[in-house]
Amino acid sequence: MRLLILSIFLITALNCSSNIEYSVKEFPSPSGENASLPRLFTDNTGTVYLSWIESKGDTSSLFYSSLSDDEWTNPTLISESDSWFVNWADFPSIIGKDGKAIAAHWLQKIPGGTYAYNVNIAGATNEWQNVLTPHKDNTPTEHGFVSLTPASDSTFLSIWLDGRNTAGSGGHDSHDSGLSSAMTLRSAFITNDLKIEESFLIDESVCDCCGTAVVQTQNGFITAYRNRTENEIRDIYISRYIDGKWEKPASVHDDNWNIAACPVNGPSIAAKGQTVAVAWYTGANDISRVKLAFSSNEGKSFEAPVILDNGNPLGRVDVEFISNNEVLVSWVERNMEDRSKAYFKAKRISSDGKIQKEFELSLMESSRKSGFPQISSYKNTIIAAWADVSDQNSSKVKVAILE
């Protein structure tokens, strides 16, 4: 199927040092009706995987399709149920390697309360029939905000927020019982046929409902997430998996955001060689900001962050390398003339911290139903996906390629 171009928007770069224009080419999505919560992943061969949820009544269905040579495969149903926990910020994912899907995850409700649910991971080797829960605490608490990435030819890494210590502490996002009952960050290496090789506690106190991120580097893995201190400082931290263990977590930058609640705005991370980029949202000092920081030594230290937003960001960031020394960062910026609307924005930044270009990917709704827009690499450019919820009767997943 040839790439069908629906619309072309020529966006003039805002950097006055250049008159280069960018093209955003939207083409048909493989998703069906009432689709939302897209998630993108690009594997080592450049194959792109798109997962999404389609809703019909009380039933949620998780589908995926893969893209190579400008053609989507027919959508594959991974699983469906009327008892999943489906959330605008905590949504399913899929990963692949060598041009084939490996694993996918979703959240399964369990008895015990509104925020009682498990992480379910399914493997492609058994046509998605076998399901693993990577945590074995059996508590009726929250387990979610999962990040997956291939670890070897036969294993993958899972990162998740784990609420086993929150049982009996007063409920979701409770702050009455101290950090002894805080959300934790945990991980497990899992074989492709769904056997747990090793599990780890990474951080014993993290923000309750901000997304996680993970990336493989030359010498290991790095996870990025929102930490939580005794004084309710909730800044972005990383931990590096080097030589078989997770190192002590460290902040990317001390924003010192004091907030006694979860902002539901996690970071994004990308790596190329020894260069690592972390993008995030902060509301420190009651000022909303989207920031980006680079590391040239695989996360041992980070440079001072660059501010990317235009003054009214909602966050929901993503970051992807587009060359050896440049990244593209996307985020959602509120339209102040019509606060029900927002812009899916992106900027290109070089590793020396210089902002090269800015452009607009799409106009979208500012509501939570729009979820978290996605970007990922595709060939020599970037592919983007987002939920269009402008029609109150039906949502759609839209996809675009940047040139």
H-run or E-run covering 132: strand 131-132
pLDDT at 325: 94
Six-digit token string for 288: 């909303």
Please report, for residues 184, 252, 260, 275, the alpha-carbon distance to residue 180 in angstroms, rounded to integers and kept in the order given: 10, 24, 16, 35
pTM score, whole prediction: 0.93
Measure the CA–CA gap between 80 and 59, rounded to whole angstroms. Answer: 7
Please report, for residues 14, 20, 96, 240, 388, the alpha-carbon distance to residue 93 in angstroms, rounded to integers and kept in the order given: 34, 35, 11, 22, 19
Measure the CA–CA gap between 219 and 301, rounded to whole angstroms. Answer: 15
Contact status, residue 403 vs residue 42, Cβ threshold 8 Å: no
Q: pLDDT tens across 275-317, in order?
A: 999 999 999 999 999 999 999 999 999 999 999 999 999 999 9
Encode the chain (403 residues) as per-residue pLDDT tens digits: 333 333 333 233 333 333 445 689 988 899 999 999 999 999 999 999 999 999 999 999 999 999 988 999 999 999 999 999 999 999 999 999 999 999 999 999 999 888 999 999 999 999 999 999 999 999 999 999 999 999 999 999 999 999 999 987 655 555 445 677 899 999 999 999 999 999 999 999 999 999 999 999 999 999 999 999 999 999 999 999 999 999 999 999 999 999 999 999 999 999 999 999 999 999 999 999 999 999 999 999 999 999 999 999 999 999 999 999 999 999 999 999 999 999 999 999 999 999 988 989 999 999 999 999 999 999 989 999 999 999 988 999 999 999 8
For the chain, the structural domain boundaries read 1-61+373-403, 83-209, 210-248+265-357
19 dihedral zone (left: phi>0; alpha: psi -120 to 50; beta): alpha
pLDDT at 4: 37
- Provide, for the chain, the percentages of residues in helix, strand and coil under a 3-state DSSP scheme, each rounded to the nearest 5: 5, 55, 40
Measure the CA–CA gap between 75 and 224, rounded to whole angstroms. Answer: 31
Contact status, residue 145 vs residue 170, Cβ threshold 8 Å: no
CA 229 to chain centre: 23
pLDDT at 7: 35
Closest to 262 measured CA to CA, from 168, 332, 139, 166: 166
Measure the CA–CA gap between 82 and 120, rounded to whole angstroms. Answer: 14
Measure the CA–CA gap between 181 and 159, rounded to whole angstroms. Answer: 19
Quick count: other Cβ atoms within 10 Å of Cβ 341? 15
Residue 47: is it exposed, middle or buried by C-beta count within 10 angstroms (0-12/13-18/19+)? buried
Strand intervals (E) in 227-340: 236-242, 245-246, 250-251, 268-272, 275-282, 289-295, 306-307, 313-323, 326-334
CATH of domain 210-248+265-357: 2.120.10.10
